[in-house]
């Protein structure tokens, strides 16, 4: 188990895409961070996309996404698409060049501008938070699942406690980014999860050393859709509190009402309860191409509120209460249209 864990850590950011032999495939590296004082946030995503053979949505391509979030204001989003031949990536290290937009473990620089009306540019350094008690990658799924055919979508947090510094330029307006706390993440798969709510907090208010990763996902098998599976991982004061095995994820509870989501789970040793919520106006809708040939809608905000409680039953019911007013990531992936949003691109 330890050997498997060390290998997973060492290869966390290696690109899984293998060209034509990968078949239908999507793979993303995304970075997000918030200003501690205001909660203002950015999100940047580098994506590899390839259809299933014969699906015919798009030729293999790379995507660059960027969004600027300010609480109470409409998010500003930009995107670029380009032929995948213009992307450089590696199966043995972390060093990307997507049509001139670069990304590695210590910096990222690029722009998104050829879809829609907005242009966003970034030039940022990434620095590990030296005071973090545990800055190892976080694996929200059982380790064995990363090399298994199911689930078809995988995700991990390669760098959970980092700061970003530099500039983020939105339609010509330069914003200084000064040690904003956030995370660097990696996900991939042969298809997107059929439906999910996903949340992350990289540092709670007054508890910068605590990290939450949670999802409530439904999977479709033929005509049948599963109930929500809700894996929960909380890193607090250097310790990982994990409720993420398959059976545990089925037992965990979730109530997703679009922009207000509550979840809970417990075993013999611990109990985690939480809520993530945001105003409708804080979301933006995006189209996510899906390798089998359909298109998902992602409702995306990075200025949500979150409240979490952790009860350690093994420590006589010791409870920690964590919260943030506006630094939680909250995404909803769906094929439904009753949310009322029109995707930007």
- What is residue 344's predicted lDDT score, i.e. its pLDDT? 93
| pLDDT at res. 72 | 85
The verdict on residue 330 lying in a domain is: yes
Tell me which residue has tokens 């660097």: 184
In a domain, 131, yes or no: yes
pLDDT, position 129: 94
From first CA to last CA, the distance across the chain in angstroms is: 43
- Name the domain count of the chain: 1
Cβ contacts of 314 within 8 Å, gap of 6 or more: 269, 270
Residue 50 in any domain: the answer is yes
Contact assessment for residue 196 and residue 217, using Cβ atoms and an 8 Å cutoff: yes
Q: What domain range includes position 8?
A: 2-334
**100: which DSSP letter?**
T
Confidence (pLDDT) at 245: 97
The region, left, alpha or beta by phi > 0 then psi within -120 to 50, assigned to residue 222 is left
Instruction: Tell me the C-alpha distance between 32 and 126, whole Å.
Output: 11
- Can you give the pLDDT at residue 225? 94
pLDDT score recorded for residue 105: 98
Assigned domain for 345 exists:
no
- Give bridge partners of residue 104 from the DSSP assignment: 95
Query: Do 93 and 103 form a contact (C-beta atoms < 8 A)?
Result: no
Residue 39's alpha-carbon distances to 214, 261, 290, in angstroms, are 20, 20, 31
pLDDT at 156: 99
Q: Is residue 266 part of a domain?
A: yes
Write down the pLDDT at residue 32. Answer: 99
Query: Rg (Cα) of the chain, in Å, rounded?
Result: 19
In a domain, 51, yes or no: yes
How far apart CA 176 and CA 121 sit, in angstroms, is 12
Cα-based angle 47, 169, 200 (whole degrees, multiple of 5): 50
Each residue's pLDDT expressed in tens, for the chain with a length of 345 residues: 799 999 999 999 999 999 988 999 999 999 999 999 999 999 999 999 999 988 877 799 999 999 999 988 999 999 999 999 999 999 999 999 999 999 999 999 999 998 989 999 999 999 999 888 899 999 999 999 999 998 999 999 999 999 999 999 999 999 999 999 999 999 999 999 999 999 999 999 999 999 999 999 999 999 999 999 999 999 999 999 999 999 999 999 999 999 999 999 999 999 999 999 999 999 999 999 999 999 999 999 999 999 999 999 988 778 999 999 999 999 999 999 999 999 999
Q: What is the pLDDT of residue 64?
A: 98
Cα 274 to Cα 272: distance, rounded to the nearest angstrom? 7
The CATH number of whichever domain residue 201 belongs to comes to 2.40.370.10
Measured distance CA(205)–CA(185) in Å, rounded: 21
Task: Enumerate the β-bridge partners of residue 272.
Answer: 265, 310
> Per the domain annotation, does 298 fall within a domain?
yes
Residue 36, in any domain of the structure: yes
Total-model pTM: 0.97
Indicate the Cα dihedral angle 177, 183, 184, 188, nearest 10°.
Answer: -130
Determine if residue 237 is left, alpha or beta; phi over 0 gives left, psi from -120 to 50 gives alpha, anything else beta: left
pLDDT computed for residue 314 by the predictor: 82
């Amino acid at each position: 188990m330890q050997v498997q864990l060390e290998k997973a850590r060492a290869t966390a950011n290696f690109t899984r895409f293998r060209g034509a032999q990968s078949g239908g495939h999507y793979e993303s590296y995304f970075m997000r961070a918030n200003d501690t004082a205001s909660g203002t946030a950015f999100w940047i995503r580098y994506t590899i996309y390839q259809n299933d053979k014969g699906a015919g949505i798009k030729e293999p391509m790379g995507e660059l996404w960027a969004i600027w979030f300010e609480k109470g204001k409409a998010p500003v989003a930009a995107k670029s698409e380009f032929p995948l031949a213009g992307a450089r990536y590696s199966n043995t290290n972390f060093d990307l060049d997507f049509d001139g937009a670069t990304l590695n473990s210590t910096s990222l620089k690029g722009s998104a501008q050829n879809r829609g009306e907005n242009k966003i540019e970034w030039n940022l350094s990434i620095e590990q938070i030296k005071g973090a008690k545990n800055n190892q990658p976080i694996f929200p799924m059982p380790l064995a699942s990363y090399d298994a055919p199911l689930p078809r979508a995988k995700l991990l947090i390669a760098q959970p406690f980092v700061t970003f510094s530099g500039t983020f330029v939105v339609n010509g307006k330069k914003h200084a980014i000064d040690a904003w706390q956030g995370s660097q993440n990696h996900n991939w798969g042969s298809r997107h999860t059929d439906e999910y709510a996903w949340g992350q907090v990289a540092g709670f208010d007054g508890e910068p050393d605590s990290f939450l990763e949670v999802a409530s996902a439904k999977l479709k098998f033929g005509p049948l859709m599963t109930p929500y599976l809700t894996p929960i991982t909380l890193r607090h004061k250097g310790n990982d509190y994990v409720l993420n095995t398959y059976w545990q994820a089925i037992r965990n509870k979730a109530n997703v009402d679009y922009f207000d989501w509550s979840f809970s789970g417990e075993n013999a040793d611990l109990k985690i309860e939480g809520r993530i919520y945001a105003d409708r106006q804080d979301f933006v809708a995006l189209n996510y191409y899906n390798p089998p040939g359909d298109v998902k809608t992602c409702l995306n905000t990075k200025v949500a509120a979150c409240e979490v409680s952790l009860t350690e039953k093994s420590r006589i019911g010791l409870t920690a209460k964590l919260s943030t007013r506006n630094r939680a990531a909250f995404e909803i992936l769906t094929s439904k249209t009753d949310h009322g949003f029109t995707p930007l691109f």
